[in-house]
Structure 1
């Protein structure tokens, strides 16, 4: 397994990690990112070059399109289907520095099984379920190409990519699974695509599990994700087990006390993992708990929500072990962005000079720059970048 880092800029950062800790971040300069004309946008990923990506709704808010932002400019990454009726998004942090962006998009291919599939929960508007196949995509050099499912499957989902061009996600196969909850019919496996145009390859699951998903990959080839049953194809019992795949072997992470919603979201180059876990008795996921699993430990530890909250998800981690996420009231409402560092969860939702509220911090790069969602003073949902002021 290749362990060297192909990008000198990150190699320098790795060297700095050995020399001490980053100075405490106290405040941020918040910049709203221009939408594609609609009133709903969010940044879900930011790399070390400052390229943010996520989604924005178009002018009539009928669909959302995968969007990138850089140097004050916005870029509509397009869709795999009719752009007027197809949604697309970059739903997870993508740490690639070589211009590769991955995500999901509806296509013009009819879904013969009438499933909602995982994509439905990441889209909005009247076309969120348009009866078409949803596919993972790889975007580079100005073009979006589909990532095909396993043989016999209809849908796929791309979540993460590393600097070697390896992409991870999940994909259906041809097996009708009686653990699926209608309208889902086909089981799905955690998969990798690439480098290049290599087809989907399934990863092993835990025990007798039938379905699962991969959510993130680092440059050492370590992959994180979930293993469980088909269920609703988006968490819950599909996420019975939180998993680390290392050298092709599925390793069940420890420290989880509920058989659902156990979902790693990100892994850094050290092998530190963050995400969220279920709470016993809370099958509906109204009381999710954020976690971190250090590479030096075999057990996940909880990240406490902000004071007064009972729901938290850790969404990303950088090489300084700074963790960002969202902390909310029960059911994921009244949310605030948080930064966790050295065992302390800090509220970063309100910043000097910005009249809105940062409701979620979706990703953080190695320079401490954060992207996510804000609600501005007029109540409009905006994508943002927050730059630390040391």
Structure 2
């Protein structure tokens, strides 16, 4: 299970910022990617693919003629509008291999008492949003059998789902006070909601990622509001090291239980790798660095200041200029992200063995954007459609070995 999270961080490659040891041997050449238009309606001028599972099912959202977002599911060339929870809009953000979709939707009538959602962004810090009006947004789970299920199970406290694993366990955050100051991590499975316990002394918690073994990763904070890295195993919270660190966050976890994130102090964060038993490994990037993603073959994506780097068993490769942190990675060690060749355009790219390869775009396109990749070299995002706005697309990246 790959956990993909929101990202919006500019990355530039600054000469002399890092001493880069020799890179690993160059990978075998990858053939040019192909692009497929998904045919998602975009009457409002935009559609975007957000996630893809290993069966090739794609989810995302499109803008209707009246300017509202609707969630969609694409499979085998057919597009399905997933509907809403009674309000005008919905957005799908993730899908597991069973075809279960999570996302957010508006409802017809907001709760009478204003309640804010506490979202967990890509990092480094969770953010609590103080409410200014009754919140019409709710998390949802969708399956072909049940349709869209409202996750609002706590008397008007909206839930924000952020990830789902293979067995359908959903994790995320729930605001526990109407002033938006405190939040808790939750799990939801088959209609049962559970608020996760916190380590001793902590008052807030956030869940950011989950693997197929059910281990949940994220962070918690005490009364001072400073986060530290936490995982939950069998529902039990475990605070991670290293000893002496006062601040941190777990960003990503693999199915084998290896984790990536950062630790240190609020002023000095270090990219950190944790082994399945919780043993911390400082990746040696120094201050202002954080690890954002990893795979089970030993490749880690790291961001230091505004430089994006691949780390593989102690060796580093600068990926180059990017608009987002290195947090989309496949099992072959290829990163996917976005560059800005001009001040007004973006291009979806792949970083493969130190090379930057454009994924391509639709004819006469002014830009493209990559969001997620599955285990078969299929990447989803959007491409500009001859200047008429973005439209959801799928790229297929041939494997290194086959070239097909």
Indicate whether the TM-score tops 0.5. yes
Q: Which runs of 5+ in 1 are unaligned?
A: 4-20, 122-128, 177-183, 232-236
CA distance in 2, matches of 1:35, 1:278: 47
CA distance in 2, matches of 1:97, 1:274: 23
Does residue 47 of the first structure (1) align with residue 53 of the second (2)? yes
Structure 1-normalised TM-score? 0.68
CA distance in 2, matches of 1:356, 1:101: 30
Does residue 197 of the first structure (1) align with residue 197 of the second (2)? no
CA distance in 2, matches of 1:327, 1:208: 43
Residue 114 of structure 2 corresponds to which residue in structure 1? 114
Would the aligned equivalents of 2:103 and 2:161 in 1 still touch at CA under 8 Å? Answer: yes
CA distance in 2, matches of 1:313, 1:278: 19
C-alpha distance 78-204 of structure 1, shift in aligned 2 (>3 A): same
Q: Which structure has the highest helix share of the two?
A: 1
C-alpha distance 215-355 of structure 1, shift in aligned 2 (>3 A): farther
Does residue 224 of the first structure (1) align with residue 202 of the second (2)? no
Would the aligned equivalents of 1:153 and 1:172 in 2 still touch at CA under 8 Å? Answer: no
Residue 138 of structure 1 corresponds to which residue in structure 2? 141
CA distance in 1, matches of 2:197, 2:344: 35
Equivalences, count: 330
Residue 291 of structure 1 corresponds to which residue in structure 2? 292
Tell me the secondary structure at the aligned position of residue 173 of structure 2. strand
Q: Which has the larger displacement, 360-369 or 107-116?
A: 107-116
Q: Residue 269 of structure 1 is aligned with which of 247, 255, 261?
A: 255
Return the offset for 1:351.
1.9
CA distance in 2, matches of 1:43, 1:377: 18
C-alpha distance 281-141 of structure 1, shift in aligned 2 (>3 A): same
C-alpha distance 274-105 of structure 1, shift in aligned 2 (>3 A): farther
Does residue 312 of the first structure (1) align with residue 298 of the second (2)? no
Would the aligned equivalents of 1:30 and 1:354 in 2 still touch at CA under 8 Å? Answer: no
Does residue 246 of the first structure (1) align with residue 233 of the second (2)? yes
Return the offset for 1:204.
3.7
Return the offset for 1:32.
2.4
Would the aligned equivalents of 1:206 and 1:241 in 2 still touch at CA under 8 Å? Answer: no
Return the offset for 1:134.
2.0
CA distance in 1, matches of 2:362, 2:43: 24
Tell me the secondary structure at the aligned position of residue 50 of structure 1. coil
Return the offset for 1:25.
3.1
Would the aligned equivalents of 2:140 and 2:150 in 1 still touch at CA under 8 Å? Answer: yes
CA distance in 2, matches of 1:186, 1:159: 19
C-alpha distance 68-162 of structure 1, shift in aligned 2 (>3 A): same
CA distance in 2, matches of 1:324, 1:273: 19
Return the offset for 1:320.
3.7
Q: Which runs of 5+ in 2 are unaligned?
A: 2-25, 122-131, 269-287, 310-317
CA distance in 2, matches of 1:204, 1:120: 17
Return the offset for 1:105.
1.2
C-alpha distance 376-293 of structure 1, shift in aligned 2 (>3 A): same
Would the aligned equivalents of 2:184 and 2:195 in 1 still touch at CA under 8 Å? Answer: yes
CA distance in 1, matches of 2:168, 2:291: 29
Residue 99 of structure 1 corresponds to which residue in structure 2? 99
C-alpha distance 114-98 of structure 1, shift in aligned 2 (>3 A): same
Residue 314 of structure 2 corresponds to which residue in structure 1? none
Would the aligned equivalents of 1:215 and 1:223 in 2 still touch at CA under 8 Å? Answer: yes
Residue 125 of structure 1 corresponds to which residue in structure 2? none
Would the aligned equivalents of 1:162 and 1:219 in 2 still touch at CA under 8 Å? Answer: yes
CA distance in 2, matches of 1:206, 1:347: 43
* Per-residue deviation, residues 141-173 of structure 1 (Å, max 9, x unmatched): 251011135x45521111221221211112223
Q: Residue 175 of structure 2 is aligned with which of 172, 176, 201?
A: 172
Return the offset for 1:347.
3.8
Return the offset for 1:275.
7.6
C-alpha distance 362-67 of structure 1, shift in aligned 2 (>3 A): same
CA distance in 2, matches of 1:313, 1:230: 30
Would the aligned equivalents of 2:351 and 2:357 in 1 still touch at CA under 8 Å? Answer: no
Please tell me whether Structure 1 or Structure 2 has the larger radius of gyration of its CA atoms: 2
Would the aligned equivalents of 1:277 and 1:288 in 2 still touch at CA under 8 Å? Answer: no
Q: Which has the larger displacement, 43-52 or 100-109?
A: 100-109
CA distance in 2, matches of 1:31, 1:276: 37
Equivalent residue runs for 1:69-88 within 5 Å: 69-83=74-88, 87-88=89-90
Return the offset for 1:111.
3.4
CA distance in 1, matches of 2:133, 2:257: 38
